Structure 1
Amino acid sequence: MEITGKTLIEWGYKPGKWFKGAIEHANQHQLAGDALRQYLDAVQPTIIDPHAEAAPFYRNIRAETPDEEANVQQVLATMDELMKTPTLTGGAVMPDACPTGPVGQIPVGGVVAAQGAIHPAMHSADICCSVMMTSLGKVDPRQVLDAAQSVTHFGGGGRKALFDLPAEFLDKIRGDYFLGDERSLTLARTHYGTQGDGNHFLYVGRSRNTGETVVVTHHGSRGFGANLFRKGMKVAEGFRKEFSPQTKPTNAWIPYAEDIGKQYWQALQWVREWTKLNHQVIHDQTLAAV
């Protein structure tokens, strides 16, 4: 008897990527009866269900007004659901926490520890959102602000030929599984030196301690990182459907033990490096223009 996908489905097995290899093996070795059942039971994916109870998390937050109390209750409700994700072993709620997205999605100010898993939605599209500060010495802050405005760009999208991305960095990502495609390379180039929108900023002021003028930038990895995030979510969703279909889609994960998990982790490191370079070029070009 030839084994087909229909055969496995009729026997109660859930379709997935594993079907192809299992069917080929079963037919090649002419498995039947108990031997076939034992083989299929051994190779079918193990379904990982969410925790019945939320994993423990620390509550470093308190409310002092009715509005704050409502916020805290929403944060705790979403954390209670989030911490049922089967990869999570612990977590914390920071004082500035507030909910975002549906119940069960990690809130702003939420921190979790995951075992052997990378959750793209938990680093979000704004990968490596960060700040950098440079002290420029005793110079006029207005002059610095004018210089900064002349070299960087705020708003959606990128700008062509704003600055040249270092060739050695481009060489690193050209061979990367996630970042070597033309769209990623274009975003890395055209968003280099830009700051985006939302709560991103470039601040100029004087230090109370030294009197020196400082520049502070706040942004993440721009479209370059957002493009990686979209790819990561697609990969994570594939694993979720196959191995943990009861887990919420926003909490899907990529297993680090898989080759693609290690590849995604490496891509995150390149995005982190790009973000640091982006801060640096804005600071360096601002200083050069003063």
Structure 2
Amino acid sequence: MKITGNELIALGHTPKKWFNEALEYINENNLDKNEMLEYLEQFKSPDPIPLNENPTDFIINIKAENESENDNVEKVINTMKVLMKTPTLIAGAIMPDACPTGPEGHIPVGGLVVAKNAIHPGFHSADICCSVMLTDFGKIDPKEVLDAAHSITHFGYGGRDRGSQMPMSQELMDAFRENFFLNEERLISIARSHMGTQGDGNHFLFVGISKNTGNTMMITHHGSRAPGAILYDKGMKIANRFREEISPETLKENAWIPFETEEGQSYWEALQLIRKWTKENHEAIHNATLEKLNTEKQDRYWNEHNFVFRDGDLFFHAKGATPLDDKFMPDITGPRLIPLNMAEPVLIVQGTTNDRNLGFAPHGAGRNFSRTQHKKSLTHKTTEEIFEEETKGLDIRFFTNDIDISELPSAYKNAQNVRSQIEEYNLCEILDEVLPYGCIMAGDVQKNAPWKRKKKFSK
């Protein structure tokens, strides 16, 4: 009698890729029932991995400095308590800039967790390798740098038009084509068009003066744009396939790819390539600005603060946390950067691993309220009044020419409180500060979004 998939399902097996191969082997060799059961043993799924009933404690490097911060801190701690039930996690920490990103159990911004032999795409999110780069322009007028950068950079939706694209290196394109997750011509085409772009949200181009040297410095903040978002989507689909089989109790957002699998190895390699793309993206903007000004850089360094970092079989997932320990950065060339808001200095810091920071520092100032809540709290003032009050004395520009009040200083946590908690919890050492001159951000990209313009035109 020919054995079919129904017999395998009746024996408790879930239909999978191996079904056809197994059925072919069983029928060609006319296995009897006992022989068949023995043969099928190799395909038996392991028992599901349960959630941690007694999750590992996490380090709390945050406290409410005033009443408005109480709710935020409570939510951050509660979401971490649920998150740490994820079976792979062995350590965690929250930073002074932490804020929740969704329902309980989702990793908060300013959260750091350590997984054993597992990569969690949901813990780095779609904005893979969100990062900052600094170039020291020496003794040059900061307005000249800001003007030159403004003529070169690109914010908003999508990539650059074909005639204004910045080149993506051939070496990187070749590497994309050799990776399982990135070997897609559509993705590579998008990566090419997004080179030299900064997106929207809290991404910026900041120009200021070093407190220590008086030199003008430019700092860019953005991630891997659409190429990273595409990789994230693919990674989440693979992770959830594993989750359904090995740990269905785990939240979908916390699914993981086992590192020892072929998919895990390929995803890790893809993350490193997306990291290289992001660094190249920063460099494209910085180098074009230097060329426009016909000058050379005095110094340059960078760091990501939204990535996965490896130390042996441990994977440190930083959802908005700045790596301090040199072991996390293969191309380390200088100290690290912590931006706060457009009206505050960018902190230049250094540090080592200690019993509170797990080798990381905060990545910025964070938020106490959502963008929508913040906007509602300011409805008694005009946008122009808010802008004037919060940016006085600074050269603040929005790429779309539409002010985004959800990115003004009051939208963020009190910068002094974040700095004081950095010191209180001994997270890192501040070496220098880049005092603000001016800043470029995307602006209110929703106001005149392309699809809104088309809709209006069609009426």
What's the offset of the Cα at 1:39? 4.2
Q: Distance in 2 between matches of 1:180 and 1:10?
A: 39
The code of the aligned residue for 2:165 comes to: L
Q: Distance in 1 between matches of 2:199 and 2:76?
A: 28
Q: Structure 2 matches for 1:189-228, cutoff 5 A?
A: 189-228=192-231
The code of the aligned residue for 2:91 comes to: G
Deviations 1:162-221 (A, max 9, x none): 211122222222222211211111111100011110000000111121111110000111
What's the offset of the Cα at 1:34? 4.3
For 1:10, the equivalent position in structure 2 comes to 10
For 2:190, the equivalent position in structure 1 comes to 187
Q: Distance in 1 between matches of 2:258 and 2:272?
A: 17
User: Bigger CA drift: 57-66 or 9-18?
Assistant: 9-18
- Structure 1 residues 2 and 57, CA gap change in structure 2 (3 angstroms): farther
Q: Distance in 1 between matches of 2:184 and 2:66?
A: 50
Contact kept in structure 2, 1:120 and 1:232, CA below 8 Å: yes
For 2:249, the equivalent position in structure 1 comes to 246
Deviations 1:6-33 (A, max 9, x none): 2233333344444444444443444444
Q: Does 1:263 align with 2:266?
A: yes
User: Bigger CA drift: 70-79 or 119-128?
Assistant: 70-79
- Structure 1 residues 278 and 32, CA gap change in structure 2 (3 angstroms): same
Q: Distance in 2 between matches of 1:22 and 1:58?
A: 49
Show structure 2 runs of 5+ residues with no match: 294-459
Q: Distance in 1 between matches of 2:26 and 2:158?
A: 52
The code of the aligned residue for 1:234 comes to: K
Contact kept in structure 2, 1:91 and 1:112, CA below 8 Å: yes
Q: Distance in 1 between matches of 2:2 and 2:84?
A: 45
What's the offset of the Cα at 1:66? 3.1
Deviations 1:55-79 (A, max 9, x none): 3221222223333222222112211
- Structure 1 residues 204 and 52, CA gap change in structure 2 (3 angstroms): same
For 1:97, the equivalent position in structure 2 comes to 98
Q: Structure 2 matches for 1:1-290, cutoff 5 A?
A: 1-46=1-46, 47-159=48-160, 160=162, 161-290=164-293
What's the offset of the Cα at 1:237? 1.4
Contact kept in structure 2, 1:98 and 1:109, CA below 8 Å: yes
The code of the aligned residue for 1:177 comes to: F
Aligned residues: 290
Identity of aligned residues (%): 53
The code of the aligned residue for 2:27 comes to: N
Q: Distance in 2 between matches of 1:69 and 1:132?
A: 33
Q: Distance in 2 between matches of 1:227 and 1:99?
A: 24
What's the offset of the Cα at 1:5? 2.5
What's the offset of the Cα at 1:247? 1.2
Q: Distance in 2 between matches of 1:103 and 1:96?
A: 18
Deviations 1:108-132 (A, max 9, x none): 1111111111111111111111101
- Structure 1 residues 67 and 232, CA gap change in structure 2 (3 angstroms): same
Deviations 1:224-283 (A, max 9, x none): 111111111111111112222221110111111111211111111111011111111111
**Normalised by the size of structure 1, how large is the TM-score?**
0.93
Task: Name segments (4+ residues, structure 1) moved above 3 Å.
Answer: 11-42
- Structure 1 residues 61 and 32, CA gap change in structure 2 (3 angstroms): farther
What's the offset of the Cα at 1:102? 2.1
Q: Distance in 2 between matches of 1:14 and 1:170?
A: 39
SS at match of 1:142: helix
Q: Distance in 2 between matches of 1:54 and 1:245?
A: 17
Deviations 1:94-149 (A, max 9, x none): 12111112221111111111111111111111111110111101111111111001
Q: Distance in 1 between matches of 2:36 and 2:107?
A: 43
SS at match of 2:271: helix
User: Bigger CA drift: 1-10 or 28-37?
Assistant: 28-37
Contact kept in structure 2, 1:88 and 1:113, CA below 8 Å: yes
Contact kept in structure 2, 1:16 and 1:242, CA below 8 Å: no
Contact kept in structure 2, 1:153 and 1:193, CA below 8 Å: yes
**Normalised by the size of structure 2, how large is the TM-score?**
0.60
More helix by share: 1
What's the offset of the Cα at 1:42? 4.4
Q: Distance in 2 between matches of 1:255 and 1:182?
A: 27
Show structure 1 runs of 5+ residues with no match: none
Q: Distance in 2 between matches of 1:99 and 1:90?
A: 19
For 2:377, the equivalent position in structure 1 comes to none
CA RMSD of aligned residues (A): 1.8
